[in-house]
Every structure is written in structure tokens, then in C-alpha cells.
Copies of this chain bind each other. A is one copy, B any other.
Amino acid sequence: MERNTVTLFETIVTLLENKRYATLRDILSTMNPVDIAGVFEDIQDEKTAVLFRLLPKELAAEAFVEMDEDTQELLIHGFSDTELKEVIDELYVDDAVDIIEEMPANVVKRILRQADPDVRKQINEILKYPEDSAGSIMTTEFVKLRPKMTAEEAIKRIRRTGIDKETIYTCYVSDESSKLIGIVTIKSLLLAEDEDIIEDIMETNVISVNTLDDQENVVQVFNKYNFLAVPVVDKENRLVGIVTVDDAIDVMEEEATEDIQKVAAITPTTDKPYDKLSVGEIFKSRIPWLLILMVSATFTTMIINGFEESLAASIVLTGFIPMLMGTGGNSGSQSSVTIIRSLSLGEIEFKDIFRVIFKESRVSMLCGVVLGAANFVKMLLVDRLLLGYDEVTIMVSLVVSLTLLLTVICAKIVGCTLPMLIKKIGFDPAVVASPFITTILDALSLFIYFMIAQLVLGI
């Protein structure tokens, strides 16, 4: 697939240079809108305006939606007002909103000026909803049916009006006051008898989301129920839009990427793919946590300085600081990342906190004992015998192994508790938890280490 796109791309560029427009039109007409968008993104040039004019109107709009914002802006820049209007008229409202959200103010003004008054109204409606809310990702173009219609009438209605709807596969039934009372899939319509009445065949146990729900909740509904679309209602249960599964998938990938980034102490600032990000944007998303974590390491410096005399007395202890802190950090992040992901998938909630702590305690005991024992054997066999560090005595090995055991237990309990508490008080566990946990665990493991060393070695 990928290989085809590349060869095709070169052909298209050559044809464009040679002004073979008829051939180009034929080629483009057989292509998928996503692949056409790819070609435009790769050309990234004033010439794309010519190419765009070759596309059939509907395909042009479909491809336009799939392009990145730079290519879109370049094209809009080259459009006459009439051309711009033609594209906008073909767009689904939610796609138009997505584009508008990424464009500079002067382009937005131009787009809104060219949109039909009715479409402009719908766009403005959606733009009013908070970012990342269900309202902001919904579309207002869906098939509405009345409860008293027959299946035949419904199908006729769909055939008449369906062309402008984002999906016709799930139709929504509302009463006179626009309240959502049921849904009918086109499958059940087609499988029904012509004279069946909608309210008899519709599904009345409708699962919907609220306009102000977070998009993460919308994704959870798709995950749980395998829907192709979910209706969005306002506070009075009036049907105002739908979210289709393709938009939900985009949100899903975005949220998963964000979760991964946050775990790695990156501030998610944008949903652009890596190769579209500038060096400055990447820098800005990474430097804040690096600075915070660096400064918060002052605690570890303080602890080490506090125990300076013990360290001087038994300098061999220094050699195991990285291992202890590393293992503590890894143990903690295993727990915190598991809990953060489970929270974000809706698998666990705050009320499960004691069950989670109990489970993690048992896991941490197992891990701690195995790691402690393995380390004891390893220090005596590898460090003492194989590498010949005479300072690694049985007592030193005991100190390090005991510290390891306690650190792993603390790490896992802190790692599972903190994300849940942070979520409970209303912050994003993925952002706040990781750096906090690192700082707490680093300090904790050093403190445990020196306390045990003083007790056991009497230094």
C-alpha cells in the first residue's frame, strides 16, 4: 500500500508539471480521499490549487477534510470565494468545525462568511461547547424520524435526505418536544415489514451522552457498547447531535497518546503527529517536567548530605544507590501506570481504592521478597566473588537487600494510591502522579537505605 502511494506520487507530480490535467483527473478520481490528502500534503505548494480544481466536488471536500492544517490553509489561501463556498457546502458540520478550530482568525472569518446561514448557525452552536466536550466533537447532521412513521416511510425519508447526513445507519426518533425517545438502525428498518410502525421496532433503552460530558466518557461508551454512533442530548434530554465512531476513534488514539506522554513526563500540548511538530513545540512540551523533576531532586541531595558521615564511613554503599533508586522507581511506575490506565479505561474507580491497595500490597510483597533474595545472592556471587569487591560483605548485602524489599513495597503502595487520590481531588492522575511519585520514592528509598545501614552496620 505504502509503496503504491510513493510511485503514484511521482507520477502525479510529473503529470502535474506536464499539465496533463485529464489524465490527472482520471487518476485522482479512483483514489481514496485519505490518499489524495497525502499527495497534497507531500506537494505542499501553490500548485496544489490547480490539482484541487481537478477533483470532483464531493471527493474534493472529502480529501480536504483529511489534509493537515498547513495544506488546508495553503489551499484556502488560493481559493476564490466561490470555490471556498463550494467546499464548505460539501463539508459535514463537525468537519467544518474541526477545520475552523485550527485556522487563524482571518481564515475563520472568511469561511464563516461563505457558509450558508443555516450551516453557520450550526457551526457556531458547536463552537460554543467547551474543548474536549461531547458537544465539541458531535455533528448535527443525522437522520431524525418520528415515532408514528412506518418502516417504508422511514426508508423513503432516508433515501430523500440521507445524502447530507454523516451516517444513515442509526436513525434517531424524537417526540414533538425534540426529546430523544428511541433509535432505529437501518438494519432493523430493512429487515422490518413495510407497514411496521417505528415506535414498535425502535430500541427505547437508549444510551446517550450529555453535551458537556468529557470526550473521554464518550470514548468509554463506544468501548463498552460497540456502537456506530452515540446520541448527544442537552440537559433537558433534547437530541442535539450525534458522535460517530470514526470521530470516537480519533479521540481514542489521541487520549491513549496523551496517557503515554504524560507517563513519560511530557506535557501533551497538541495532537499533531511527531513529524509535524517543530523543535520549539517539542522543547516546550518536554522542558517543564524536566525542570520540575530536576529541582525536586534537591530532596535527594539533602538526604545524601544528611547522611554524609555514614557514607564516608562505608563508601561501598554509594555504589548501590542507583540500583535501589532505579528499582524503586520501576516498581512504582509499574503500579502507577497500571492504575492510571485502568482509571482512564473506567475499569476501576475511587471506591475500589482499598481493594487496589490490598492487591498491590500482596504483589509488592512477592516482588520485594524475590528481588531482595535475588539481590542478596547476586551481590555475594557477582559483586563479591566474581568482581572481587571485598567491601561487599554479608552485612552490606543484607542492608541493600532489606532496603530493596522495603522500597519495593513502599513504591507499589505509593504508586497505586497516589493516582487514585489525585484523581479524586480533581486533577489528572497521569500528569501529576508520575513526577510526584518519582520524587517521593527517590527520597524514600534513600532514607530507608541510610536508616537500615545505620542500624545494621552501626555507622
Min CB distance A412 to B, Å, is: 9
Contacts of A222 in B (CB 8 A): 249
Contact B363 A286 (CB under 8 A): yes
Question: Residue of B at shortest CB range from A374?
Answer: B291
Contacts of A283 in B (CB 8 A): 363, 366-367
Among B31, B333, B347, B446, the residue within 8 A (CB) of A273 is: B347
Q: How far is the CA of A186 from the CA of B189 in the complex (A)?
A: 12
Q: How far is the CA of A293 from the CA of B456 in the complex (A)?
A: 26
Instruction: Mark A48-91 against chain B: 1 for CB-CB distance below 8 A, else 0.
Output: 00000000000000000000000000000000000000000000
Among B30, B287, B325, B334, the residue within 8 A (CB) of A286 is: B334
Contacts of A311 in B (CB 8 A): 315, 318
Among the stretches A39-47, A114-122, A155-163, the one at the interface with B is: A155-163
Contacts of A329 in B (CB 8 A): 329
Among B321, B337, B408, the residue within 8 A (CB) of A261 is: B337
Contact A327 B264 (CB under 8 A): no
Q: Does A112 contact B (CB under 8 A)?
A: no
Contacts of A338 in B (CB 8 A): 261, 264, 266, 274, 282
Q: Does A382 contact B (CB under 8 A)?
A: yes
Q: Does A179 contact B (CB under 8 A)?
A: no
Contacts of A169 in B (CB 8 A): 169, 186-187, 228
Q: Does A359 contact B (CB under 8 A)?
A: yes
Contact A191 B205 (CB under 8 A): no
Interface size for A (C-beta < 8 A) is 112
Contacts of A261 in B (CB 8 A): 337-338, 341
Among B286, B298, B327, the residue within 8 A (CB) of A297 is: B327
Contact B302 A387 (CB under 8 A): yes
Among the stretches A130-138, A231-239, A250-258, the one at the interface with B is: A250-258
Q: Does A312 contact B (CB under 8 A)?
A: yes
Contact A300 B279 (CB under 8 A): no
Among B163, B312, B333, B408, the residue within 8 A (CB) of A191 is: B163
Min CB distance A145 to B, Å, is: 14
Q: Does A459 contact B (CB under 8 A)?
A: no
Contact B265 A263 (CB under 8 A): no
Question: Residue of B at shortest CB range from A156?
Answer: B190
Asked, given contacts A159-B190, A325-B325, whether A264 binds B334 with beta carbons under 8 Å apart, the answer is yes
Instruction: Mark A310-323 against chain B: 1 for CB-CB distance below 8 A, else 0.
Output: 01100110111111
Contacts of A304 in B (CB 8 A): 318-319, 321-322
Contacts of A249 in B (CB 8 A): 222-223, 226, 245, 248-249, 252
Contact B263 A337 (CB under 8 A): yes
Question: Residue of B at shortest CB range from A222?
Answer: B249
Q: Does A225 contact B (CB under 8 A)?
A: yes
Given A158-B190, A249-B252, A260-B263; 15 other pairs, CB 8 A cutoff:
A30-B204, A169-B169, A169-B186, A226-B249, A256-B259, A264-B330, A264-B337, A275-B342, A287-B371, A290-B327, A291-B371, A294-B404, A305-B319, A305-B389, A330-B438
9 interchain pairs (CB within 8 A)?
Answer: A162-B191, A257-B345, A260-B260, A261-B337, A283-B367, A293-B326, A294-B375, A297-B326, A312-B312
